[in-house]
Structures are given as structure tokens and as C-alpha cells.
């Protein structure tokens, strides 16, 4: 076939195709992860109501068509981010309580796992906590689902240890305390040992009070730093930040419109 025929007609069978090569699965996953990471940055800075496709594009450094190849709107990568955060918390606590051979060891391991998760969230922890009770934010729904999973797994583990579990409302009180204190400690400087000790002590006292057996209180003495009497100053747990600012913007975006 002559070259002129090729230029004016269809590409011959077997000839190499021009244009961009097809994206591999690994490349596609890398772009998707990049979008989710950019969404995390925007969410941390602006909260849910300030997240928009335009801001995600700017942070990710990608074109709009690329974004819509993976997600239909700004909410979708945010749900991916929240799901990853939820599963990190549940998995971390599950490992901690599964490795414990008694209730007090379970409390200690659970506290440390929760505090580690909170600090690992970095600046995204601010809007996560600020929007817990905002019914218009997906954070609220994710939080309830996570509570349900944590409550169920804690009760199962207590049964495995031969302990009659507390009532569900008592477990919810414990989770609320972990949630609040974890937020306060995560806002503290990682080098502030007093702030971390305060957080661990408060969480341990509430947990042991809910478990409420003399044996557990006696067993707690095996952890000399856990109930330290000088770890009682809540102000020490909020002096500095885990490397991120304390305030979060309240910018709103009309989510019914394409940014």
C-alpha cells in the first residue's frame, strides 16, 4: 500500500497506532491516589463545605477531564478518604485488643492505638472533629458507622475474655471520651510527654471505671505511668499542635453547582 493511501485512509492492520499510550493499572491507581491525597489537603484546610473540584485540581496539578475520569464530583474522593481513615482506626484498635490477654492490657493497647491514629490524621483531624455532629457533612455518617463497628468488636473481645460486656451506652461513653481526648492530645506537640500522659490517664480512668472490677483496678498498677497523679493538667494537652494550625476555615461552597 502506498504512503498516500495510508495518509488518506484507515490505519493498516498491524500498524502501530499514534497518540498517547494506554494507561496501565498502576498508573491509573497512582493518579487516583494523587486525587485523594489532594482532597485530603483541601479538606484539612477548608473542611467539607469548602471542598470543591476546582481546589482539588489546583492541589493535585491535574486537568479537569482527568479528575472526571476517576470521580463524578468532589464528594467521591472525600468518601474514599473517610473510608480509609475509618478502616485505619478500626484495624488499629482491632489489632491492639486482639493481642491483649486481659482487660487492662486491652485498655492500654486500645488507648495507644487510638492516640496513634489521631496523630496520624495530621491536619485532617481538625475538620474530622469539628464536623462530627454536622448532619450535612459526610463525616457525621462515617463517624456513626465507625462507632457501630468499634462497639461491636469491643463487645466481642470482652466476651472472648470471659467478661460480661458493659451496656452499649457505657461503651458509647467510652468511645466519646476516646474521641475527645484523642483530639486534644493530637493537637499537642509530639514532644509534649505531659500532654500524652494526661490523655492516657484520663482515658484509662474512664475505661477502668466503666469496666469497674476490683481486679482491673489492681491490675492497672502494673502500668505505673498509666494513672500517674501528676498527669492531670488538660491545658498541657493543647499547648501546641501536631505540626498543623489549631483553627480551620469555615469556607462554604455551593455543592449543587459545578465549581
Could you tell me where the DSSP H helices lie in 187-247? 193-211, 214-219
- Per-residue pLDDT at 253 exceeds 70: no
How far apart (Å, rounded) are the C-alpha atoms in residues 174 and 172? 5
Query: Model's pTM, two decimal places?
Result: 0.74
pLDDT value for 72: 97
Distance of CA 77 to the CA centre of its chain: 14
Q: What is the mean pLDDT of the chain?
A: 79
List phi, psi (to 5°) of 224. Answer: -60, -30
Mean pLDDT, rounded, for 13-25 = 65
Mean pLDDT, rounded, for 71-93 = 96
Portion of the chain with pLDDT greater than 70, in percent = 71
For the beta carbon of residue 41, count every other beta carbon within 10 angstroms.
Answer: 16
Confidence of residue 225 (pLDDT cuts 50, 70, 90): low
61: phi > 0 → left, psi -120 to 50 → alpha, else beta; which? left
Check the CA dihedral 169-171-174-178 and report its sign: negative
Confidence of residue 4 (pLDDT cuts 50, 70, 90): very low
For the beta carbon of residue 105, count every other beta carbon within 10 angstroms.
Answer: 17
Segment of 145-159, 189-203, 216-230 carrying the highest mean pLDDT = 145-159
Closest listed residue to residue 125, CA positions, set 174, 180, 60: 180
Amino acid at each position: 500500500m502506498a504512503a498516500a493511501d495510508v495518509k488518506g485512509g484507515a490505519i493498516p492492520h498491524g500498524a502501530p497506532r499514534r497518540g498517547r499510550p494506554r494507561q496501565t493499572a498502576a498508573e491509573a491507581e497512582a493518579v487516583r491516589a494523587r486525587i485523594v491525597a489532594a482532597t485530603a489537603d483541601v479538606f484539612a484546610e477548608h473542611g467539607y463545605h469548602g471542598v470543591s473540584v476546582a481546589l482539588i485540581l489546583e492541589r493535585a496539578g491535574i486537568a479537569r477531564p482527568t479528575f472526571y475520569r476517576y470521580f463524578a464530583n468532589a464528594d467521591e474522593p472525600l468518601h474514599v478518604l473517610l473510608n480509609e481513615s475509618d478502616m485505619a482506626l478500626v484495624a488499629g484498635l482491632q489489632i491492639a485488643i486482639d493481642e491483649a490477654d486481659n482487660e487492662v492490657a486491652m485498655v492500654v493497647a486500645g488507648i495507644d492505638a487510638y492516640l496513634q491514629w489521631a496523630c496520624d490524621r495530621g491536619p485532617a483531624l481538625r475538620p474530622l472533629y469539628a464536623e462530627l455532629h454536622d448532619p450535612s457533612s459526610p463525616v457525621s455518617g462515617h463517624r456513626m458507622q465507625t462507632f457501630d463497628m468499634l462497639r461491636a468488636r469491643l463487645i466481642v473481645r470482652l466476651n472472648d475474655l470471659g467478661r460480661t460486656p458493659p451496656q452499649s451506652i457505657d461503651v458509647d461513653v467510652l468511645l466519646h471520651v476516646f474521641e475527645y481526648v484523642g483530639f486534644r492530645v493530637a493537637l499537642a506537640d509530639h514532644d509534649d510527654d505531659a500532654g500524652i500522659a494526661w490523655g492516657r490517664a484520663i482515658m484509662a480512668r474512664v475505661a477502668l471505671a466503666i469496666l469497674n472490677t476490683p481486679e482491673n483496678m489492681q491490675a492497672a498498677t502494673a502500668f505505673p505511668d498509666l494513672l500517674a497523679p501528676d498527669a492531670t493538667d488538660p491545658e498541657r494537652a493543647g499547648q501546641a499542635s501536631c505540626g498543623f494550625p489549631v483553627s480551620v476555615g469555615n469556607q462554604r461552597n455551593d455543592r449543587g453547582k459545578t465549581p
